[in-house]
Structure 1
């Protein structure tokens, strides 16, 4: 079964004077997956830790405690910053039948979705990494992983892939999704990972 995922990042925005806020402040917002990190802000009043979504602290030292910022104010103060954020990478796992470069039917059906993602994002960097299970020698699997990655890259290009950069590599039997002993035919390890940045 294929998966799509994005890398989570904790984001914070700084509102500066100049029409967007009456006092400069920093606010912590959630990553696309809903998680947040934390920030510590040092002012004349001391260090304030902010670790809750949409909470902020003034940078002028007027307060040592954090406060919540309502969504309409965030939209008003940070619309330009939010619009300037690049899209997070999006990855697809495409799985193969055993011993060759034939995709499973389900994974073959996902090729158009990969292409659609690139079209929607505009010029993108695309990486294609081939992987294998542990059946066969390490050298053989390195070559098989590269053959799989090249085959997927070729399919993408033949179907209109427009990329700023296309990187094709193999990890062979390294970086298994499911750790197995040698000579184990594990379907989840027979894959190509396509990442659109």
Structure 2
């Protein structure tokens, strides 16, 4: 039998959905229907695409609730049935990482809106049993590479200090500087771009 699951390159939502689908199909047991793969939304609400190929043909799943048996037959599964079949499995899935972007007016001064994200990051961290945090500093393309590497590190350190001051408890916290590498908005050198003056905080 030639059974294959093929993800389409639709980005983050697609990969998360495929991850859930594969787990659900492998861990299914005692269902009235043969083992099947069902497309469920990722936690951010996006729905990707999964292709199932088997002896009975090929099915392309593109909508939440669409399903197919592993031999390629199409199914439509109601939410109630999905919860009955996969509720325990979905509850056991690890939470996906959450990313926050904090922007700076200049130097190491956060914008007011970005500073207000600090408590939200703390709350998100508290929902995870063993949380890992990465704090990555960035700059725009004004000034030299060595200066920007130092400035980005200062920004990341500033955010790390604010998190710790507000009571962050993390299994690990890693601080990095990318300087003007990995721009959010691509610009030439010596370009003032507020959206590149940022720190990215990932909670996982």
TM-score (norm 1): 0.85
Instruction: For residue 29 of structure 1, give the secondary structure of its aligned residue in structure 2.
Output: coil
Inter-partner Cα distance in structure 2 for 1:111 and 1:35: 29
* 2:78 alignment partner, one of 57, 70, 81: 70
1:73 to partner: Cα distance: 0.2
Pairs within 5 Å for 1:1-197: 7-8=12-13, 9-11=16-18, 12=21, 13-14=24-25, 18-32=29-43, 33-42=45-54, 44-59=55-70, 61=71, 64-98=72-106, 100-197=107-204
Inter-partner Cα distance in structure 1 for 2:91 and 2:160: 31
Inter-partner Cα distance in structure 2 for 1:17 and 1:154: 45
Contact 1:28–1:39 under 8 Å retained in 2: no
Question: What count of residue pairs does the alignment treat as equivalent?
Answer: 186
Q: CA RMSD in A?
A: 1.9
Structure 2: tracts of 5 or more residues without a match:
1-11
1:94 to partner: Cα distance: 0.7
1:21 to partner: Cα distance: 3.5
Contact 2:101–2:200 under 8 Å retained in 1: yes
Structure 1: tracts of 5 or more residues without a match:
1-6
1:58 to partner: Cα distance: 2.5
Q: Which has the higher helix share?
A: 2
